[in-house]
A = this chain, B = another copy of it.
Amino acid sequence: MRIGALSQRTGVSERALRYYEEQGLLSPLRRPSGYREYTDEHVHTVRSIRTLLAAGLGTATIADVLPCMVEEGGQLAAACPDLLVDLARERDRITAAMNELRAAREMLDAIIAAPVPAEAARALDCEEAVGTEFGASPVPSR
């Protein structure tokens, strides 16, 4: 498939896909015309890339990680010790980030769930606020 199709199937912009290639994360074949030709596997690869990017890994690290990923749920080989060290570090970073997110979410929850004192609402020139009880969807913070 060509880049437009891959973009649609992954929800990732064409620009981003070209960027990933530029960074060595994707290596589609090229037609004589220069058009990129992707396979179904690239769809999975792109998904992995997005996940790792979202986790804060840089493209360089991802480039190191990707070759270790074979198949979907299939198994993958680890790599050089250096990479393992990096990965362990990333793992810890991610865990820390999750904790920060949790803290922030609790902070927001506290504010959202806080009873809106009528006076406070008035003091904040938000008369309509009182009784608008909607937010604070009690999603169990697990």
Contact = CB atoms under 8 A, between A and B. Distances in A.
Q: Main SS of the interface on chain A?
A: helix
A129 interface: yes
A6 interface: no
Given A55-B101, A95-B105, A77 B114 contact: yes
B77 A91 contact: no
Size bracket, chain A contacts? 35 or more
A103 B135 contact: no
A16 to B, nearest CB: 16
Interface string A17-38: 0000000000000000000000
Contacts of A121: 77-79
Interface of A: 48, 51-52, 54-55, 57, 65, 67-69, 75-81, 84-85, 87-88, 90-91, 94-95, 97-98, 100-105, 107-112, 114-117, 120-121, 124, 126, 128-129, 132, 134-137, 139, 142
